[in-house]
Structure 1
Amino acid sequence: MAPLNFILLAVRDPLKSGALYAKLLGHQPVDTAPTFVMFVLDNGLKLGLWLTDDMQPTPKPAGGYELSFSLPTRDSVLATYKEWTALGLKVAQQPTDMDFGFTFVLEDEDGHRLRPFVPAEQR
């Protein structure tokens, strides 16, 4: 099986979403155009933000995917919550303990969910 190395998110405005994700990821995009923005992360994973109206075949409405970010400590989850909510992201779940770890969920402007967490065994 081929490794998962590229994630595409359908977005309404790739340039606007690209500016937000640059802040969230701490990386600048490697490709920027009105219809597509791409990031390459340190681990090699590529994240593409593609204009919904430009995708073929036409995707379902923008939004609805969840990106998870594993963090090292509970304090780092809380710091990320403070930093990201200051960007105006919609809170879908306040910081809370769940069976898999300590987490919260925010949504970007397209409704994609962002879930930082620290695994339960690291709490």
Structure 2
Amino acid sequence: MLNFDFVLLHVADPLVSADFYSGLLGKPVVESSPGFAMLPLNDKVMLGLWLASDAAPGGGGRPGASEISFDVADGAALSEIHADWTGKGLPILIEPVEMPFGHTFVAADPDGHRIRVVAGVKS
């Protein structure tokens, strides 16, 4: 059986990305070096931030090529996070919109990775 426990993003600067995600999510960085940083997304899943040029094999990872997604309880929570992230100056790639899977918006991290927030699932 496979257990999902890690998300790995290739980034231009792991220390910058770790600072960004730590501040955004209110989570502590648990490992930090110029080539790699890591912090918890929740009790079971970690976020790894690997220097793209060091990613093995071959270091061909491209910063900004991924999307991570977070669930929130409802539209009010989504609106609150959207306002907070907009106030912090995060680039908003997709303003809040209804989609078949729920109310959502998408922001970008320093490398251009997409950060999606979704409220509810449409039935």
TM-score, normalized by length of structure 1? 0.91
Structure-1 residue corresponding to 2:100: 99
Bigger CA drift: 31-40 or 83-92?
A: 83-92
- Say whether 1:60 aligns with 2:71: no
Over the aligned positions, Cα root-mean-square deviation in angstroms equals 1.5
CA distance in 1, matches of 2:93, 2:73: 22
Identity of aligned residues (%): 38
Structure-1 residue corresponding to 2:87: 86
What displacement does 1:40 show? 2.1
CA contact (8 A) 1:90 1:106 kept: yes
What displacement does 1:18 show? 0.6
CA contact (8 A) 2:35 2:51 kept: yes
TM-score, normalized by length of structure 2? 0.91
Structure-1 residue corresponding to 2:46: 46
CA contact (8 A) 2:100 2:122 kept: no
CA distance in 1, matches of 2:92, 2:10: 20
CA distance in 1, matches of 2:99, 2:76: 16
CA distance in 2, matches of 1:53, 1:87: 29
Deviations 1:27-65 (A, max 9, x none): 011111111110123331011011111111213311121
Bigger CA drift: 40-49 or 91-100?
A: 40-49
Structure-2 residue corresponding to 1:76: 77
Bigger CA drift: 100-109 or 53-62?
A: 53-62
Moved over 6 A (4+): none
Structure-2 residue corresponding to 1:27: 27
- Which AA in structure 1 matches 2:94? Q
**Residue aligned with 1:76, SS:** helix
Count, aligned residues: 122
What displacement does 1:121 show? 4.8
CA contact (8 A) 2:103 2:118 kept: yes
- Which AA in structure 1 matches 2:3? P
